[in-house]
Structure 1
Amino acid sequence: MMVAYGGGKDSAYAVAFVRAVHLALAERHGETFNLRVVTMRHGGMPYQVMLNIDRTYQALGIYDDPDVELLLVEGGQVVPFDRDRSMPHRLIAFNRTDMLMSGHRSYGDGRATFCNACNLNVADSFGVAARHGGGVDLIITGDSPQEQRDYALWIRQLARGAGLKPADGKKGFKGTLETLDGLAQAYFQEIHGTDNVERVKERGVASDIPTALEFFSIYDYTSYASGAHWRLLTNFLGFVFDEIAFNFTESDCANPALMAHLRGLRTEHVYQRTYREGIGQYLEFALGLMRKKHFPDHLVQEMEDRYRTEEGAASMRVAATLYGENAFGVDTTQLVCMVHSPFAGGAVNLRHYLSCELPELLACEDQIRALLACKEDDAVLASRLERISGLSLTDLRALHDGPLWSPFADRGAQAGVLPLVMDSDPHKKIIRVKRSPDGEEVLDRVGGR
């Protein structure tokens, strides 16, 4: 039996619930099931999350139980859980490349930049963990059966929209993973370019699991909202809502802080307005999402207080900048470049980017375009572009030759998997913004977690 433990508040409760059943069976019958607890690591998971996981394991007496297996999945590799295990450099590079390439194709939109690739990686980790060793027969989840059906239906609809044939519905979870694998291949070809065969291949979704593998939901057997078991979380399990790990709707990921930061940078640098205005747009969206997800009022208030004042917003700007540097190895220059999306879609935004950020390179616009189109080689210019973007010339050329998703395009006007995902994404809000200090208001989108 397997339960996924991302390190957040909900999955911590799910682990505690399953552990209670695990111990109850041992006490009543003298034997119990083998329990596998799996954590997928990614660049957005700070060390504080590992500490929360460790405190949960200690509180539940899991470490010394021979009937419990604790695992980490790191980019397809399965290793024993170790609280102090350093983040693998290959995993950081893997996540960094996805983040930059996705962000450059979407003006740094929070969902496209971080969530789409991460969601596919999570699905892959389920397959990898479920087949590991002798495999598992059952996966425990906190998602309701209706949520599971809705998710499977959404995946099949996406596949059809992308021109792919979904797997046989009778295959259950195995079929869902097979369908996701097809979507992942199509999606990452779109993001990284069709010539990047090996990179796309290693981002597939593992689906070689037993067809008989089933899901069991605890949703109908317990009150799942964190407010209902607050004392269990904080007093017994030792769960800490840390400023680094707790951001908006996530209690195990610092990426939403970067999503807000990117919105601020886009408003400041692309729209030539203020960073604080962009933060305010993201804050309004994300606080609404927290309430929709039934976060306790005091956590919503805590998040609002972080950004409420000029000093708070400035402090979080510094924190997000440092986090981007430490977790992904990207600096402010590279993030600003990303929110302009100057290279994707035939470098349609190149002139505006150069005018705003690098006016000294305006005279080199034609040479840059020729370099991106493989019509010219200029090592000095290529090195400059690589520094300001954080991407190799090969990746910049892939961006140039591939699509650019736009939040301003008409519904259904853009082809590809990314537009399909973005259009069907529920975690977004359509707002009115001014794209220049004195310009007319237009519709824009805020998305994130």
Structure 2
Amino acid sequence: MTHTHEQAMNYVYQQVLQRLLSFFSRAERTALQLMIQRLVVAAGGIERIGEYKVLAIQSGARDSCYTLALLRAAQLSIAGRAPATFKLRVATLRTNGASSTALENIHRSFSALFLYDDPRVEVVMVDNREVLPFNHLASVSEAGRESNRLNLLMVGHRRAWTGPLDLWDDGYLATGEFYGQISRWDRGVDALVSSDTPRQQKQFMDGLDRAAQKAGLKASSYPESGYEELFARVDELGGDCYREFYAGHGHAQWRPAECFEACRRTTFIDIHDMLVSNLEDRWPLLTDFLGFQPDELAVQLSDNEFVSLSIFAHVRGLEACYVHGRTYEAGVAEYVQRTLVMMRRKQLPERFCEQALEKFSNPTTMSDQRARASTEAQKNLGLSEAQLVCLLFAPFVENGASLERFLRQCHPGMLVALPDLHRAMQGKPAPEQVLQWMADVSGLPVTLIGTLYRMGPVARGEVPGPQVGDTQVQALDIDASTAASGERSTGH
């Protein structure tokens, strides 16, 4: 870069900063100065800030886009008053469930903040354990899609079918492994910066520990529930969090292998206390400057960031239908009932409640919603409705303890083949049609079903929360009697 070009780019960056600051309130500007001070202290002083590298995780969600804007403002502010500023690595984990809207949000925020061409900034993504330059137009690779699908199923099946519906715990494990590896890549980073609240941090650490146990790894020996212990916990888990599932199977390794540091120096910088503005005040910055396009209903309703709202509601409907012998509509209604109680307790705007009712309370469109959600699950997660139902029953763990119940409930015609199914899971010869049925209904190769067969379920206590019988739960106007006849057929 020539001196003239460098001067021109510095002018552009300062223009970006001025426009960015124009969206900040006085309180946000004060918080920005405190964040700069926190970063400078962590770096060991302003004279060492140019050697300091910060990691930010970008998911395309509202809060991660806002946090990135704050970090960019800090980086450019320091650049305007000191000889050098900190370096920034922005990393995205590519998953099967990521929406095109999220990827577009990431791209637009990168463009608005002029990250792509700034040599002080790295924008990367990880697909199937390979670190690549970020590209919002690139689909998840076929190998990555299949690996993500298998990981979801293997972790998801290690639950007691009577326990909580922790079907998406693989997201915690994949993200934890991602944190550990991307912080070691290409000479590593000095700090992870996050604005997650203490509650969000605890939820993630609990989910990571639960998922790790499902993957056959040891429970955490660290009592702390926040990100202060994140990297110690990740180190404890090891570099391959799925090794107990795929021993003897081909499984992608992190690559380029030569680019990963043997030791990590990463610490955690918590900035959740610096998000001083309320959510409503942030929208102009998010939408007008960063080009963020929100799905407001999903933001407020989603129980889990690793799966879409429609799929989560769909699974609740399937659970009611196949596991509890009620109707699909009743399961969706119960899900929305509980969510509405939570929303009103949090005093969220009533328009979100109205959107939820409009989306889920019309019995004439419920069958269409079910079909769309089933198509979405097949497209994004690679799972058919039959495979989701199988996942609900978790019939293979603990030597197939709940297999007979699963067959009686969903596939009574296969009860006659129960001895053959057990033989197949034990690695013994079995009829080809039985092996094919197992693969079709589960989405897993028989060898991996055998791995689950030798493992036990990982249970956890129920999470306190509103129950169906709570007096505060208001019934939705959904006519459950409109369930279509034959809805209990899974298609196999």
Short-chain TM bin: 0.7 to 0.9
2:155 alignment partner AA: S
| Residue 207 of structure 2 corresponds to residue 176 of structure 1 | no
Q: Give SS of 1:38's match.
A: strand
Total equivalences in the alignment = 406
Using the TM superposition, name which of 297-306 and 11-20 deviates more: 297-306
TM-score, normalised on structure 2? 0.71
Q: 1:271 aligns with which of 299, 316, 324?
A: 324
Q: How does 1:72-151 map to 2 (within 5 A)?
A: 72-106=125-159, 107=161, 112-114=166-168, 116-144=169-197
| Alpha-carbon distance in 2 for matches of 1:7, 1:121 | 17
Go from structure 1 to structure 2 and tell me whether the alpha carbon gap of 1:208 and 1:150 turns closer, same or farther (over 3 Å shift).
farther
1:305 alignment partner AA: E
2:101 alignment partner AA: Q
Q: Give SS of 1:3's match.
A: strand
Q: What is residue 36 of structure 1 aligned with on the other side?
A: 89
- In the TM superposition, what is the alpha-carbon distance from 1:277 to its structure 2 partner? 1.0
- Asked whether the 8 Å contact 2:59–2:93 carries over to 1, the reply is yes
Higher relative contact order (CA 8 A, sep 6+): 1
| Alpha-carbon distance in 1 for matches of 2:380, 2:57 | 23
Q: How does 1:144-159 map to 2 (within 5 A)?
A: 144=197
Residue by residue over 1:357-382, the C-alpha shift from the partner in whole angstroms, topping out at 9 and shown as x without a partner, is 33332322233233333344211211
Go from structure 1 to structure 2 and tell me whether the alpha carbon gap of 1:329 and 1:235 turns closer, same or farther (over 3 Å shift).
same
Q: What is residue 264 of structure 2 aligned with on the other side?
A: 210
| Alpha-carbon distance in 2 for matches of 1:9, 1:53 | 10
- In the TM superposition, what is the alpha-carbon distance from 1:156 to its structure 2 partner? 8.7
Q: What is residue 313 of structure 2 aligned with on the other side?
A: 260
TM-score, normalised on structure 1? 0.77
Q: What is residue 423 of structure 1 aligned with on the other side?
A: 461
| Residue 347 of structure 2 corresponds to residue 347 of structure 1 | no
- In the TM superposition, what is the alpha-carbon distance from 1:233 to its structure 2 partner? 1.6
- In the TM superposition, what is the alpha-carbon distance from 1:250 to its structure 2 partner? 6.9
Go from structure 1 to structure 2 and tell me whether the alpha carbon gap of 1:292 and 1:130 turns closer, same or farther (over 3 Å shift).
farther
Residue by residue over 1:377-425, the C-alpha shift from the partner in whole angstroms, topping out at 9 and shown as x without a partner, is 2112111221122111112222333224xxxxxxxxxxxxx32xx3386
| Residue 440 of structure 2 corresponds to residue 387 of structure 1 | yes
- In the TM superposition, what is the alpha-carbon distance from 1:335 to its structure 2 partner? 1.8
Q: Give SS of 1:6's match.
A: coil
| Residue 247 of structure 2 corresponds to residue 196 of structure 1 | yes
| Alpha-carbon distance in 2 for matches of 1:138, 1:359 | 55
Query: Unpaired runs of 5+ in structure 1?
Result: 405-417, 438-449
- Asked whether the 8 Å contact 2:55–2:90 carries over to 1, the reply is yes
| Residue 294 of structure 2 corresponds to residue 241 of structure 1 | yes
Q: What is residue 71 of structure 2 aligned with on the other side?
A: 18
Q: Give SS of 1:39's match.
A: strand
| Alpha-carbon distance in 2 for matches of 1:55, 1:177 | 31
Q: Give SS of 1:124's match.
A: helix
1:74 alignment partner AA: D
| Residue 334 of structure 2 corresponds to residue 281 of structure 1 | yes
Q: Give SS of 1:113's match.
A: coil
- In the TM superposition, what is the alpha-carbon distance from 1:66 to its structure 2 partner? 2.2
| Alpha-carbon distance in 1 for matches of 2:466, 2:292 | 31
| Residue 221 of structure 2 corresponds to residue 166 of structure 1 | yes
- Asked whether the 8 Å contact 1:7–1:252 carries over to 2, the reply is no
- In the TM superposition, what is the alpha-carbon distance from 1:108 to its structure 2 partner? 9.8
Query: Unpaired runs of 5+ in structure 2?
Result: 1-53, 255-259, 471-479, 481-492
- Asked whether the 8 Å contact 2:173–2:208 carries over to 1, the reply is no
Residue by residue over 1:74-126, the C-alpha shift from the partner in whole angstroms, topping out at 9 and shown as x without a partner, is 24321111111111112211221122223333349785321x22112112211
- Asked whether the 8 Å contact 2:185–2:261 carries over to 1, the reply is no
Using the TM superposition, name which of 260-269 and 225-234 deviates more: 225-234
- Asked whether the 8 Å contact 2:397–2:453 carries over to 1, the reply is yes
- Asked whether the 8 Å contact 2:55–2:189 carries over to 1, the reply is yes
Residue by residue over 1:249-296, the C-alpha shift from the partner in whole angstroms, topping out at 9 and shown as x without a partner, is 379654443232122112112222100111122223344555677765
Go from structure 1 to structure 2 and tell me whether the alpha carbon gap of 1:327 and 1:154 turns closer, same or farther (over 3 Å shift).
closer
Q: What is residue 367 of structure 2 aligned with on the other side?
A: 314
- Asked whether the 8 Å contact 1:8–1:251 carries over to 2, the reply is no
Larger Rg, first or second structure (1 or 2): 2
Question: % of aligned pairs identical?
Answer: 25
Q: RMSD of aligned C-alpha atoms?
A: 3.9
| Alpha-carbon distance in 2 for matches of 1:338, 1:172 | 32
- Asked whether the 8 Å contact 1:4–1:38 carries over to 2, the reply is yes
Go from structure 1 to structure 2 and tell me whether the alpha carbon gap of 1:242 and 1:254 turns closer, same or farther (over 3 Å shift).
farther
